[in-house]
A and B are shown apart, each in its own frame.
Chain A
Amino acid sequence: MHELAVTQSILKIAIDHAEQANAKQITDLHIVMGELSSMVDDSIQFYWEIIAKDTIAQKAQLHFRRVPAELQCVICSEKYHPTNEELICPKCGNAGAKILSGEEFFLETIDVE
Chain B
Amino acid sequence: MALIVNELYHISNKTKFELGPISVTVEKGKSLAIIGENQSGKSLLAKILVGATKLSGGNIVLHGVRSDSRERKKAIRMMFQFSSHTLNPSLSVKKILEEPLIRNTSLSATERVFLIEQTLIQVGLLREHLHFYRHMLSDGQQQRIALARAIILSPKVLVADEPFATLDPSIRSQTINLILKLQDELGLSFIFISHNLGIVRHIADNVMVLDKGKAVEIGKTETIFRWPKHDVTKRLITSYQSLIPQQTLTD
Real complex partners, A and B?
A: no
Q: Which residues of A contact B (CB under 8 A)?
A: none
